[in-house]
Each structure stands twice: as structure tokens, then as C-alpha cells.
Amino acid sequence: MKKVVMRSLKKSWNARIYPNTITFDADINIQLITGPNMSGKSTYMRQLALTVIMAQWVLRSC
């Protein structure tokens, strides 16, 4: 499914698409998210928060 979505976005926008990637390390205490208005910073932060919550939920249920 991801490949289909990425392919259709590239075809319709004719632009490069940069995936959201993040690395959680014990060595990194803070990460700075920058970008222009309406660029998806809040959505990105919600996605990260949900990922952390889901990971904690899975670890507690094991």
C-alpha cells in the first residue's frame, strides 16, 4: 500500500517526497523540529507521541 501511495503522490505532484524518519536514542535528550507554517510539524509530533504511547502499551502488556 505504501508503494502505491508514494508512486501516486510522485506522479501527481512531480516532486521529491521525503519520508518522516526519526531515531530514538538514549544519548539524545531533545530534538528540534523546524519548518514553515502548515508544513506538518504538529502532525509529525502527534505521530511520534502515538508511537511512544503504543510502544509503552506493548511493553507493559508483555
pLDDT score for 21: 76
pLDDT score for 9: 64
Q: Any idea what the Cα angle at residue 42 is, between residues 41 and 46, rounded to 5°?
A: 120
Q: Any idea what the Cα angle at residue 49 is, between residues 44 and 56, rounded to 5°?
A: 145
pLDDT score for 44: 85
List all residues 6 or more positions away from 35 whose beta carbon is below 8 Å from its beta carbon: 41
pLDDT score for 30: 84
pTM value is: 0.54
Confidence of residue 23 (pLDDT cuts 50, 70, 90): confident
Cα–Cα distance between 60 and 16 in angstroms, integer? 39
Q: What is the phi/psi pair of residue 44, to 5°?
A: -60, -45
Average pLDDT over residues 15-36: 78
